[in-house]
Structure 1
Amino acid sequence: MFKAFAQAFRTPDLRRKILFSLLIMALYRLGTFIPTPGVSASNVNACLAQQESTSVLDMFNLFSGGALMQLSIFALGIMPYITASIIIQVLRVAVPRLQDLHLEGQSGQSKLTQYTRYLTIFLAILQSTTMITMAASGQMFPNCPNEVIPNATFATYLFMVVVMTAGTSVIMWFGELITERGVGNGMSLLIFTSIVATMPMQLWDIGMTKGWLTVLAILVIILAVTVAVVYVEQAQRRIPVQYAKRMVGRRTYGGTTTYIPLKINMAGVIPVIFSTSILGLPPLIAQFGDPASGWVQWIGRNFSHQSGWYMLTNAALILAFAFFYTSITFNPDEVSDNMKRYGGFIPGYRAGKPTADYLRYVINRITTVGSIYLVIVAILPSIIMIPLNLGPNQMPFGGTTLLIMVGVGLQTVKEVNSQLQQHHYEGFLK
């Protein structure tokens, strides 16, 4: 990996792309520290000093690089875009028009991207309104006597919503700039930047409170889990495909052998995000209830990260969402029809329905292994917290964190290697 980046910096075109990407990432991090107009930064910092974990807010805060709890102009981060992308993908199953656009190629994909942008703006308005309301009512910072929004007027709230929504639009633009003019994967790199930026401070806090041996143990665990995640994320089940020979004039086409690469974890990190979001809603709702009521106390007992009930429910949701999302992203019937159209077949299986049934059988077995892997990675941090005596907001990594970091890192290295090969081939031909 380091060799690839060293070669990239020696290539002028790639060096410009890498430096441009780093500049955009630096601008993104700078925006996370600029408070939204109307917010008292000193009062927010005072409230953060006594803030406790609130599950779903922690996840949003993680993806925003700590900007959410600081109520900065980039407070919403990239989460509205991620949510909009997931919603558009899920709606492809229910809305035939969206599925038709998906099959139209580049023009259809451009339309879907435009719909995703519109939905992102709509979700940003909803989320910014919710977060501002929670901050003004004291639900975002419970038991904090300081007012984070001193001038609580309708005009102030409206201006804050506009600024936060505009911040989400700028982040979306940053991601597209990195994708078009940088090293690619712009949105993923911005998420990667947010996650990595908060880890050193968390490790420092653990070292000061729990001791540096605890930090060393966490680093060893991160390294071991990262190696395991890289191994599984790179694993593939290759389905052999042969193409029959056909004569066109005096030329022979086809007769080649290739394969369909099926990843073990085809759903990626999406099932973990779904599950965490759903399980984070009850504690968020409970903040609006009476602390002495029974249902609020029951949620407090059973929705902590170290609760056995929470872990079992989280595992069940991850398993369900892994199968659901894989069924959306991989259609055996569509793959079988494409193979049949171009004269391809899997050895031992006839083209058409038998091929689709075989692919469905294989993908179900692969998804079973991949979903179990996701469950292990997701609940491992909660188990590790117990012997290390760490609170839920002290753990510097989680299953979602590691999956995103490793996945984005691997994809970025592949992009750099691909562009290096293009430059190499260009020089060779010249």
Structure 2
Amino acid sequence: MKKFFTTLSNIWKIEDLRVRITNTLLFLLIYRVGSFIRLPGVSDAIASKGKAEGLLGLLNMFAGGSFSRVSIFALGVMPYISASIVMQLLGIAVPYFAKMQKEGESGRNKINQWTRYLTILITVVQAAAYLKSQVTPDEMLLANPLFTIMNTFVLTAGTLFVMWLGEKITDKGIGNGISLIIMVGIIAQLPGAFVAEFQNRTTGSGGLITFIVELVALIGVVMFTILIVQGTRKIAVQYAKRIVGNKQYGGVRQYIPLKVNAAGVMPIIFAQALMFIPATLQSFFPNASSNGILIMLANPNSWLHNLLFALLIIVFTYFYTAITVNAKQMAEDMKRNSGFIPGVKPGDATTSYIDDVISKITLPGSIFLAIIAIIPALVSLVGVNTLFARFFGGTSLIILVGVVLDTLQQIESHLLMRHYDGLMKTGRITGRTSIPAAAGTTPTAI
């Protein structure tokens, strides 16, 4: 405990770090206050009709409850995240954007602008769909087209303002702004889920002992997730000696850290998008709702849904790792800098070696990721309420673990740079597995 208070004292002594943490907390407070400001023209009765189940429940968690409250920040940063992913995929598939990514600072600025324009377009479409699905036109005010037009502008402005807050946190605060905003939204749901589960166990079945067992299990799942997020396979790289003047360069052994889960949370997001199709088909084709297989696929707690969900995550993990980790580029960069892997010839042999290592570590990484993704469904079967079950795994838990580790690593870097002890007595905190957004933007945790 003494070590903890000493560390807090050291953090407060560093003026730059103190200002950055204060700025971060202030910006996050602005975001949380805004999440309770309701859209103009929406009464309590209308807002209470909002639905946040299934995939919408996950989006509501990312938005800190703003989605179900029909807030001006209801869409949060998700349109920006979607635009960033689209731009990232375009940079891989379209030569024009791939060339732009290699143009240095000017290219990154261009792609950043493209991302913002695409964010506005996505936000307008999602805002119109959100108003139609969350706010039922029962009153005369809602039947007026001006209501939809006005609140579409408000929701778009809200998303752009949240995006601006995220950029300000990154520039003036500590950690990745967009990731922290998502993390705060998720954490905001934890107290309510905790209280609901406590009441469910103490007044219903299970009792206090069962609730304590659930907390211990949650801690175990968090530790397991940290292992997956932090797990790396190091490849030794030897650099040749070079004598320049009176100085010697190279001749040292370094390591290329390859993440066990290089794809991060993206495979879960892609798989969830596909698993949402059966529920959509049921809503559009009521006659097909009698199909037993379709019913099972649409039920997130069924064994068929979770089996297919896990298989899709494994497939998407391999797919996303293949397009984000370029073994050939790594081998070329190594050769250009006079580096080589001991016992492996430079060139194609090095590419094959790195690709083989990536393939071997991706399999256990994808299986572990699939297990984490289906844990919420498994704990729901034993009586855990849906909101609390979401913290046992899936996208929300991986984001929480990743963002916390990344922020702590940045704080520790500030401490070590000024010759203070780090946050841990032994070892050092390493950053998370970030999912890079579009070029020109900082990595995000989605």
Same fold (TM over 0.5): yes
Find the aligned partners of 2:219 and 2:139 in 1 and give their Cα distance. Answer: 39
- 2:426 is matched with none
Query: Once the 2 structures are TM-superposed, how far is the Cα of residue 279 of structure 1 from its aligned partner?
Result: 1.3
Q: Mind listing any 5+ residue stretches in structure 2 that lack a counterpart? A: 421-446
Find the aligned partners of 2:290 and 2:127 in 1 and give their Cα distance. Answer: 28
- Which residue identity does 1:343 align to in structure 2? S
Name the SS of the counterpart of 1:151 in structure 2: helix
Q: Is the 8 A contact 1:17 1:183 kept in 2?
A: yes
Find the aligned partners of 2:412 and 2:66 in 1 and give their Cα distance. Answer: 33
Find the aligned partners of 1:39 and 1:288 in 2 and give their Cα distance. Answer: 28
Aligned length, in residue pairs = 411
- 1:143 is matched with none
Query: Once the 2 structures are TM-superposed, how far is the Cα of residue 34 of structure 1 from its aligned partner?
Result: 0.6
Name the SS of the counterpart of 1:384 in structure 2: helix
Find the aligned partners of 2:153 and 2:325 in 1 and give their Cα distance. Answer: 38
Equivalent position to 2:311, from 310, 313, 316: 316
- 2:129 is matched with 130
1:303/1:125 CA distance change after superposition, 3 Å: same
Equivalent residue runs for 1:35-54 within 5 Å:
35-45=38-48, 47=49, 54=53
Query: Once the 2 structures are TM-superposed, how far is the Cα of residue 298 of structure 1 from its aligned partner?
Result: 5.3
Find the aligned partners of 1:278 and 1:400 in 2 and give their Cα distance. Answer: 15
Equivalent position to 1:326, from 321, 344, 356: 321
Find the aligned partners of 2:152 and 2:294 in 1 and give their Cα distance. Answer: 31
Quick check: 1:207 aligned with 2:198?
A: yes
Quick check: 1:228 aligned with 2:231?
A: no
Query: Once the 2 structures are TM-superposed, how far is the Cα of residue 210 of structure 1 from its aligned partner?
Result: 3.2
- 1:369 is matched with 364
Name the SS of the counterpart of 2:238 in structure 1: strand
Q: Mind listing any 5+ residue stretches in structure 1 that lack a counterpart? A: 139-146, 426-430
- 1:93 is matched with 92
Find the aligned partners of 2:295 and 2:385 in 1 and give their Cα distance. Answer: 14
Query: Once the 2 structures are TM-superposed, how far is the Cα of residue 168 of structure 1 from its aligned partner?
Result: 0.6
Quick check: 1:168 aligned with 2:159?
A: yes
Q: Is the 8 A contact 1:4 1:413 kept in 2?
A: no
Quick check: 1:390 aligned with 2:381?
A: no
Query: Once the 2 structures are TM-superposed, how far is the Cα of residue 315 of structure 1 from its aligned partner?
Result: 0.6
1:231/1:5 CA distance change after superposition, 3 Å: farther
- Which residue identity does 1:28 align to in structure 2? Y
Find the aligned partners of 1:5 and 1:101 in 2 and give their Cα distance. Answer: 43
Equivalent position to 2:411, from 408, 416, 419: 416
Quick check: 1:151 aligned with 2:154?
A: no
Query: Once the 2 structures are TM-superposed, how far is the Cα of residue 209 of structure 1 from its aligned partner?
Result: 2.8
- Which residue identity does 1:323 align to in structure 2? Y
- Which residue identity does 1:84 align to in structure 2? A
Query: Once the 2 structures are TM-superposed, how far is the Cα of residue 401 of structure 1 from its aligned partner?
Result: 1.4
Query: Once the 2 structures are TM-superposed, how far is the Cα of residue 276 of structure 1 from its aligned partner?
Result: 1.6
Find the aligned partners of 1:134 and 1:200 in 2 and give their Cα distance. Answer: 27
Q: Is the 8 A contact 1:125 1:165 kept in 2?
A: yes
Query: Once the 2 structures are TM-superposed, how far is the Cα of residue 249 of structure 1 from its aligned partner?
Result: 4.1
Query: Once the 2 structures are TM-superposed, how far is the Cα of residue 343 of structure 1 from its aligned partner?
Result: 0.6
Equivalent position to 1:177, from 158, 168, 173: 168
Find the aligned partners of 2:216 and 2:174 in 1 and give their Cα distance. Answer: 30
Query: Once the 2 structures are TM-superposed, how far is the Cα of residue 103 of structure 1 from its aligned partner?
Result: 2.6
Q: Which moved more, 1:281-290 or 1:262-271?
A: 281-290
Find the aligned partners of 1:148 and 1:218 in 2 and give their Cα distance. Answer: 44
1:369/1:68 CA distance change after superposition, 3 Å: same
Quick check: 1:278 aligned with 2:274?
A: yes
Name the SS of the counterpart of 1:349 in structure 2: coil
Find the aligned partners of 2:199 and 2:79 in 1 and give their Cα distance. Answer: 35
Query: Once the 2 structures are TM-superposed, how far is the Cα of residue 95 of structure 1 from its aligned partner?
Result: 0.6
Question: What is the root-mean-square deviation in Å for CA atoms of aligned residues?
Answer: 2.2
Q: Is the 8 A contact 1:56 1:284 kept in 2?
A: no
Find the aligned partners of 2:15 and 2:317 in 1 and give their Cα distance. Answer: 42
1:358/1:26 CA distance change after superposition, 3 Å: same
Query: Once the 2 structures are TM-superposed, how far is the Cα of residue 257 of structure 1 from its aligned partner?
Result: 1.3
1:240-264 C-alpha deviation (Å, 9 max, x unpaired): 1111112334443221211101111
Name the SS of the counterpart of 1:260 in structure 2: strand
- Which residue identity does 1:259 align to in structure 2? Y
1:192/1:393 CA distance change after superposition, 3 Å: closer
- Which residue identity does 2:362 align to in structure 1? T
Query: Once the 2 structures are TM-superposed, how far is the Cα of residue 320 of structure 1 from its aligned partner?
Result: 1.4
Find the aligned partners of 1:300 and 1:206 in 2 and give their Cα distance. Answer: 28
1:354-374 C-alpha deviation (Å, 9 max, x unpaired): 111101000111111111110
Find the aligned partners of 1:308 and 1:148 in 2 and give their Cα distance. Answer: 42
- Which residue identity does 2:329 align to in structure 1? E
- 2:23 is matched with 20
1:338-361 C-alpha deviation (Å, 9 max, x unpaired): 111111111111111111110100
Q: Is the 8 A contact 2:74 2:155 kept in 1?
A: yes
1:22/1:99 CA distance change after superposition, 3 Å: same
1:379/1:396 CA distance change after superposition, 3 Å: closer
Query: Once the 2 structures are TM-superposed, how far is the Cα of residue 55 of structure 1 from its aligned partner?
Result: 1.5
- 1:355 is matched with 350
Query: Once the 2 structures are TM-superposed, how far is the Cα of residue 303 of structure 1 from its aligned partner?
Result: 1.7
